[in-house]
Amino acid sequence: MNISKSKYLVLVGLLILIAGCATTRLAPETVNRFKKVGVISVTAHEFHRRYTGLTVFGNEREQQDISAWKVDDEYEIQMQTSLS
């Protein structure tokens, strides 16, 4: 079997990575002590509306800036309320 050095190194690296991930374990008591917070990415800066008509001539497309609605701020308030 003739394997090039680069393929061999990639294969060995993957095996080391897989073996390392498989051996990492935490006790359930340790995991329960972690405070878990979900990350929400930036959302809702633009609103897109698209209408597809019966023919190509009836199609409509609209894009509106809705950053003034402050959707992200509302999500942040809800998360702070839930976490406190």
Question: Quick check: is 18 in a domain?
Answer: no
* Average pLDDT along the chain: 78
| pLDDT score recorded for residue 70 | 82
Interatomic CA distance for residues 68 and 45, integer angstroms: 8
Residue 65, domain extent: 36-84
CB 26 within 8 A of CB 9: no
The answer as to whether 30 is a domain residue is no
pLDDT value at position 82?
Answer: 80
Residue 23 lies in a domain: no
Residue 60 covered by a domain: yes
Residue 21: the pLDDT is 61
Nearest to 76 by CA among 34, 31, 44, 46: 44
Spans of the chain below 70 pLDDT: 1-3, 20-24, 36-43, 84
Quote the CA–CA distance of 44 and 30 in Å, as a whole number: 37
The answer as to whether 62 is a domain residue is: yes
Structurally, the chain folds into a number of domains equal to 1
Residue 25: inside a domain, yes or no? no
Minimal CA–CA distance to 61: which of 52, 74, 70, 69? Answer: 52
pLDDT in the model for residue 62: 92
